[in-house]
């Protein structure tokens, strides 16, 4: 199964990374925002929602 990332605001790698952390560690969107910020990716927690 392939997922289309057409029209996404962020690169596919960023989206996959965020989903991995969200599913694997059951973190909140705010926690996920901080994890990505530590890796140099600035997103708002409402964008992740």
Does residue 38 fall inside a structural domain? Answer: yes
| Overall average pLDDT of the 18-29 stretch | 82
Q: Which domain range does residue 22 map to?
A: 12-48
Measure the N-to-C terminal CA separation of the chain; round to a whole number of Å.
23
Does residue 34 fall inside a structural domain? Answer: yes
What does the mean pLDDT of the chain come to? 83
What's the confidence (pLDDT) of residue 49? 67
CA distance 49 to 44: 9
Q: Count how many domains the chain has.
A: 1
Does residue 2 fall inside a structural domain? Answer: no
3-state DSSP assignment of residue 48: helix
Does residue 40 fall inside a structural domain? Answer: yes
Q: Are 27 and 35 in contact (CB under 8 A)?
A: yes
Does residue 33 fall inside a structural domain? Answer: yes
| Residues 2-22: tens digit of each pLDDT | 888 888 888 888 888 888 888
């Amino acid at each position: 199964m392939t997922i289309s990332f057409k029209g996404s605001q962020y690169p596919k790698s960023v989206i996959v990374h965020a989903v991995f952390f969200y599913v694997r560690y059951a973190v909140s969107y705010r926690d996920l925002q901080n994890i990505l910020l530590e890796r140099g990716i600035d997103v708002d927690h409402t964008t992740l929602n």
